[in-house]
Amino acid sequence: MEFETWWLMLVPLIFSLGWMAARLEKRSDASMRGQMPASYFKGVNFLLSEQPDKAIDAFLEVASIDTHTVELHFALANLFRKKGEIDRAIRVHQFLTTREQITPADREKATYELGVDFLRAGILDRAEQAFHSLAGTAMKAEASRQLLELYELEKAWDKAIAQADQLREYGAEVPAGDIAHFYCEMAAQFIESAELDRAKVELQNALSTDPQNVRASLLLGDIYFTQNHFEEAIGQWRAAERQNPWYLPLVGPNMWAAYTKLGQQEEGIAALLEYCTMYPSIDLLLVLSQAVEETRGPQAAFELLREQVRARPSLLGLDKLLEHQLRGKMDDERVQDLHLTRELISKHTQRLERYRCQSCGFQAKSFYWQCPGCANWDSIVPRRAEELDFYPVSAKKAPHTH
């Protein structure tokens, strides 16, 4: 191939272009480094070394120098919120919402974060206003979920139901069991104000929403019991067995009272014994023991307790057995030893008789349908902590998340 001389002219041209490109790149890097103050890099280093307080101070210096660092402001507000300094997070997010230079998407994000700040600070009316302002924006689903949490905090159950329906329209998943509990909460308020007919309507709504909602069935039974419709109450409670039998201890005392009102004590004892056998529970056992004592006497109640505790040993059961055994005993040395034994067991069982959330581990002496720790519904089963350790059961037939 013949070598053409004009190629020689391209060599210095190409070399010159490459040299100029390299110079421009270096100038661009230097320019960028010049735009970023040293405080920014100090803040990053503090974050990497897990020194958030110093990082915040450094980033505050950056924020005061360069007001165009939108993402930096979001990160700074997030640090404030994590540190519990909600008032400072609010100021940062409020500043962002008033900036004209930011994009609509960033302004919506700032408004949403501001609503979260207000919610965490307990300023619920301002939080509600912020979330409502995001209707029709790309943040509408996230804002709607926060509104649902807000209405649960306010116990505004009618608004919570409407918000749950809105979330479902947005394509978000809201468990039917949670919505059924909103209806149950409304019913409980009507029961407290003696508006029983209105309560029944809400409980029927709950069962229509979630046919497996055992709480609605138990509350319907309570209403019938209050109205002296004892047969209907018993029927309603026994029907709850098909939904989730582990909740029967909640109605044990009233169930026995209903059988007593009907003069059907033996039928009541048989029903309670069946439940204690199929669904062991110390609470049901105590109701059964009391029923047997009232009907057949203390000795029969003691023998029942002893049989049940031997079949399913537990410290809670042993404590009640010793209590029965010590009744009417002469105060001799042997009885004093038994009293000491029971005293030691009783101290130990105080922590074993608590209810425990199966989601977060929260424990309490009282039973809650919604866990105060994690806000999950149906995560606490009405069985004592010791029973759950020995005989684990699920609070829900079909687990779901809140």
Angle in degrees, 0-180, between the axes of helices 140-154 and 157-169, rounded to the nearest 10: 160
- Which helix (DSSP H) or strand (DSSP E) does residue 364 occupy? strand 363-364
Under 8 Å between Cβ of 321 and 308 = no
**Over 80: is that where the pLDDT of 255 sits?**
yes
**Over 90: is that where the pLDDT of 142 sits?**
yes
Choose the most confident range, by mean pLDDT, from 7-11, 25-29, 71-75, 290-294. 290-294
Average pLDDT over residues 210-226: 95
**Over 60: is that where the pLDDT of 288 sits?**
yes
Residue 56 tokens, joined: 């915040």
Give the per-residue pLDDT at 206. Answer: 97
* Residue that the structure tokens 């997030």 belong to: 78
**Over 90: is that where the pLDDT of 346 sits?**
no
Confidence band of 271 (pLDDT split at 50, 70, 90): very high
Q: For domain 67-169, give the fold.
A: 1.25.40
pTM, two decimals, is 0.75
Give the per-residue pLDDT at 399. Answer: 37
Is 360 annotated as ligand-binding? yes
Q: What is the pLDDT of residues 98-126, one digit of tens each?
A: 877 788 999 999 999 999 999 999 999 99
Pairwise pLDDT comparison (366 vs 262), residue with the higher score = 262
Give the per-residue pLDDT at 338. Answer: 66
Domain ranges of the chain: 67-169, 352-402
CA distance 123 to 128: 9
Confidence band of 134 (pLDDT split at 50, 70, 90): very high
Q: What percent of the chain has pLDDT over 90?
A: 44
- List residues bridging with 384 in a β-sheet: 355
**Over 50: is that where the pLDDT of 388 sits?**
yes
The mean pLDDT value of the chain amounts to 81
Stated length of the chain? 402
**Over 90: is that where the pLDDT of 258 sits?**
yes
**Over 80: is that where the pLDDT of 204 sits?**
yes
Is 357 annotated as ligand-binding? yes
Give the per-residue pLDDT at 149. Answer: 94
Is 276 annotated as ligand-binding? no
DSSP state of 136: T
Task: Give the list of residues 6+ apart from residue 98 with CB closer than 8 angstroms, or none.
Answer: none
**Over 60: is that where the pLDDT of 81 sits?**
yes
Give the per-residue pLDDT at 387. Answer: 74
Lowest mean pLDDT among 150-154, 251-255, 300-304, 343-347: 343-347
Q: What is the pLDDT of residues 6-35, one digit of tens each?
A: 344 444 444 444 544 554 444 444 444 445
Give the per-residue pLDDT at 389. Answer: 66
DSSP, residue by residue, 189-250: HHHHTT-HHHHHHHHHHHHHH-TT-HHHHHHHHHHHHHTT-HHHHHHHHHHGGGT-GGGGGG
Give the per-residue pLDDT at 332. Answer: 65
